[in-house]
């Protein structure tokens, strides 16, 4: 496993454990990094193709940009962002790839 991927996996694990230990945390108590980790974890768990996506979170605003292979994945991303604790607003610049 590449060092960067290992660090990302370790970060996701740590933030997930933190979230599990504090399930009643309010939106204001969640850090941007923790919210981003939660979004990334949920996207991957939902089978979203992350190859061409970027996720950023700043002050409760989640921004997702990139390409996905289907409109179904685009809708799933939208739904996931809306139900993620700590996300107050979204910026979605996700396009569906068109076949060559």
Looking at residue 38, which CATH number applies to its domain?
3.30.1340.30
Give the residues across from 94 on adjacent strands: 66
Q: Which two tokens stand for residue 34?
A: 């923790």
Helix (H) or strand (E) holding 56: strand 53-58
pLDDT of residue 17: 59
* Number of domains comprising the chain: 1
pLDDT digit string, tens, across residues 9-30: 666 666 665 655 555 555 555 6
- Domain of residue 81 covers 3-96
Q: Which of 4 and 54 is assigned the larger pLDDT?
A: 54
Q: Which two tokens stand for residue 91?
A: 């910026």
With beta carbons less than 8 A apart as the criterion, state whether 64 and 54 touch: yes
DSSP category for residue 26:
-
Residues 61-67, mean pLDDT to the nearest whole number: 96
Query: How many C-beta atoms surround the C-beta of residue 68 within 10 A?
Result: 22
With beta carbons less than 8 A apart as the criterion, state whether 53 and 66 touch: yes
Q: Is the pLDDT of residue 60 over 60?
A: yes
pLDDT of residue 24: 58
């Amino acid at each position: 496993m590449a060092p960067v991927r290992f660090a990302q996996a370790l970060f996701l694990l740590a933030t997930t454990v933190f979230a599990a230990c504090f399930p009643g945390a309010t939106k204001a108590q969640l850090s941007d990094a923790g919210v981003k980790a939660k979004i990334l974890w949920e996207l991957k768990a939902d089978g979203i193709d992350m190859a061409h996506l970027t996720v950023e979170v700043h002050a409760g605003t989640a921004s997702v940009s990139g390409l996905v292979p289907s409109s179904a994945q685009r809708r799933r991303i939208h739904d996931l962002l809306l139900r993620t604790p700590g996300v107050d607003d979204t910026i979605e610049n996700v396009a569906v790839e068109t076949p060559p």
